[in-house]
Chains A and B, each alone.
Chain A
Amino acid sequence: MKMYRSHIMICRGTGCTSSSSEQIAQEFEKQLKLHGIDEEVIVERTGCFGLCALGPIVIVYPEAAFYSLVKPEDVEEIVKEHLVKGRVVKRLLYAETIEEDRIKSLNQVNFYKKQVRVALRNCGIINPENIDEYIAFDGYKALARCLTELKPEEVIDIVKRSGLRGRGGAGFPTGLKWEFTAKAQGDMKYVCCNADEGDPGAFMDRSILEGDPHSVLEAMAIAGYAVGGSQGYIYVRAEYPIAVKRLSIAINQAREYGLLGKNILGTGFDFDIELRLGAGAFVCGEETALLASIEGQRGMPRPRPPFPANKGLFGKPTLLNNVETYANICPIINNGPEWFASMGTEKSKGTKVFALGGKINHTGLVEIPMGTTMREIIYEIGGGCPNGKAFKAAQTGGPSGGCIPADKIDVPIDYETLTALGSMMGSGGLIVMDEDNCMVDIAKFFLEFTVDESCGKCTPCREGTKRMLEILDRITKGKGQEGDIERLETLAKNIKASALCALGQTAPNPVLSTLQYFRDEYEAHIRDKKCPAGACQALLQYIIAEDKCKACGICAKQCPVSAISGKPKTPYVIDQGKCIKCGACLEKCPFKAISRG
């Protein structure tokens, strides 16, 4: 690669790509040529910077100028001013990065200040389609060291001592899993990667695969060396087209360089990786279902034991780790297990990536040391709830997790504390809810998801979750009955105890945890037929206050179903039978005479 004085890094992760970052990249290339500086300045397409809410994001080095919400028509100005004349275009900079007219270094900005990027170390910094850039930042150094200096059991020992635990959700110690697979007897062993990211709102695995695919390939090769496997499979969702494309490019480049395939680096070690595309069934993220799907069977779980470490893919010993788990391996080998274990809490070491979503200002991807509090994540990094609304709860762990209420916001986050609060780490989706979110409605949303995604193999999950959803549905429609809460609790207990796989066993968690912290909301729905948050439409009523109504008739004109009637000088009324609760009248009333209750 030749020397360029300035590098324009454009995010080509899924988020920014969906808001036209490719057009922006092409416009930059065109404008650079037009201004005759295309030999001095290079345009690089890169992975996710994390601050998706402000995308499309463009970072220009060496100044590290952070341009946010860039539009194709802004490109000419950036090229003319910044790249030709050296004057940063202030109006397009992310406001937080400017201080007294100077550009702050990115790690001083609130969003990045508390972050420690281990799994995301290369995302946004390298071009993921260029293996040389990965190699430049210590890529394939860890593999080279393992193959030339360390015995397989020493590699496993390093992973064990680091304290790394599975980032896919359950938090099983990674080193132990490697050891079990290494000790299992078999003429053939497999190393698999679970990239079937399915929790609503979680997108860290996608971002790692899009932004730094080699970090996963290298770690899988190391795992292959440690456990004695020679074939790897990455099971990735077909609806992640950018991740699939970058992985394919990365695998080909690694093969060309002899970093995958036969006799890697001349050491006699053979390891290759193939992709398997999943059709998007949530249950295929469960390990036994995933392996069945790779085999070409229908993706359904089977009882364990035997665990995959002993009897996995095609009946052979199989190691299966999640994308983010693998992304931590190379830094652990390069920097030592003590370095990794120095971050985090007593039982949860290292960092964790969270996908921030819902009612939060800085929607995006953050990586923080374990033990960071929810308050730091939501307020300091995430910028709090939009429009000054009050924070009510955070949902972690997706459909298997639960809610953490506002009064538990200062608890340091790790595997144990989340479980103790009735939630779980899960893959790291973190959905923020404010005062307008109804907790019964949230529980219903997640249960709808599990009912849709239940594979149907075992009765507790197939029938039990459906019955729970029916009860929740009638509660939110104002038809809840006394005893419904108890019925939900009994069903939840039985499903947890008897479902075949983790999907079923954890499906009642969203209901149980909202019942634990927001039981009064359930009771209000059932007894008073009211939704305290004002979210359940069936329980809402729009009412015109007679004393405030000036009979102007604006509300009647706004109503899309002609449910409002009235005459001059007499207050208007809403026909509750016709009203569809759209709220248009409330927004337009100039005298604030309409209320929702």
Chain B
Amino acid sequence: MKTLKDLEEIRKRTLDTINLRKDQSGTRIVVGMATCGIAAGARPVLLAIMEEVEKNDLSDVIVAQTGCIGMCKLEPIVEVYRPGEEKVTYVKMNPSKAKRVVNEHVMQGKVVQDYTIGAEE
């Protein structure tokens, strides 16, 4: 038999996984997944981001994909949209860089300047 506490736990745990079906207000992490992105290794980046989001129980974060944004030589590209803030574009990503972005930017609000497109240029 479930208790009230069990019920609350199920609610929270499941909501984390299905919240993306409701209208979104939280952070969106978008990974460029066109041919260029995939060839440059976007998929492991995407998987690393998902893993990190799940590990840290981030219920208000959505991981999405997009097509080519035109700067193929800088792929894999990851964009982070936090509500009320400017979009930040990260370039030449890899799984460990992606994890750092989730930990520092998405969770603590600190942009990882070293990886941004501004730093690259």
Binding site for B on A (CB under 8 A): 1-7, 9, 40, 61-63, 83-87, 105, 107, 125-126, 132-133, 135-141, 144, 148, 257-259, 263, 265-266
Contacts and interface: CB of A to CB of B under 8 A. Distances in A.
24 contacts: A1-B18, A2-B17, A3-B17, A5-B65, A40-B46, A62-B20, A62-B62, A83-B65, A84-B38, A85-B38, A86-B32, A86-B34, A86-B66, A86-B67, A125-B21, A138-B11, A140-B7, A141-B11, A144-B4, A258-B2, A263-B1, A265-B2, A266-B1, A266-B3
Nearest to A132: B14
Contact of B14 (A1, A40, A63, A257): A1
A265 B94 CA distance: 47
B48 to A, nearest CB: 12
Contact of A107 (B7, B23, B46): B23
Given A62-B62, A126-B18, A5 B3 contact: no
Interface string B91-115: 0000000000000000000000000
Contacts of A133: 14, 18
A7 B20 contact: yes
Nearest to A258: B1
Nearest to B54: A3
Contacts of B3: 265-266
Interface of B: 1-4, 7, 10-11, 13-18, 20-24, 28, 31-35, 38, 46-47, 50, 53-54, 62-67
Given A3-B53, A5-B63, A40-B50, A85 B34 contact: yes
A62 B14 CA distance: 16
Contact of B16 (A3, A86, A144): A3
Given A86-B33, A136-B18, A3 B7 contact: no
Contacts of B35: 85
Given A3-B17, A5-B63, A62-B24, A136 B1 contact: no
A85 B33 contact: yes
Contacts of B62: 62
Given A85-B38, A86-B65, A266-B3, A136 B11 contact: yes
Nearest to A84: B33
B50 A61 contact: no
A2 B47 CA distance: 13
A61 B34 contact: no
A135 B17 contact: no
